[in-house]
Amino acid sequence: MATVVRYFGGVKLGAGGLVRAYTDSVAQALLKAEKIPIIKQRFLICSAPYAMEGMVRREIEMAGATLNNVRHADSVQFEFNLPDSAASALITRLNEAGNGRILWINPDDE
């Protein structure tokens, strides 16, 4: 969305002139604007034994994930976000390193 404010200075531009003036203003602003890529994220929840907490934390960090929450109960539950393109590789690494001891929880079940 863009907003252009024009103060009337006594010169009537007409419909075509206004369209050109507004279009040029928005185009100039977009050229100078910082571009931020949109990266699809995936929210994951897993549970691991206490002995594996350090390993899971390291893998999450190395994958470039953002750790949102950690709960300590009978096991350690991790909630994190990461780029969707990196999610499958992280899940595979954790499953292999955990030898079946890491449980994945569907976020909809929470």
- The amino acid at residue 55 is M
Q: Which residues of 58-84 are buried (b: 16+ CB within 10 A; e: fewer)?
A: ebbeebebeeeeeeeeebbbbbbebee
Provide Rg for the chain, Cα atoms: 25
Instruction: Compute, in degrees rounded to 10, the torsion defined by CA atoms 16, 18, 22, 25.
Output: 100
Residues 6+ apart with CB under 8 A from 106: 45
Nearest of 43, 107, 37 to residue 81 by alpha carbon: 43
**Residue-wise pLDDT tens for the chain (110 aa)?**
888 888 877 888 888 888 888 899 999 999 999 999 999 999 999 999 999 999 999 999 999 999 999 999 999 999 999 999 999 999 999 999 999 899 999 988 76
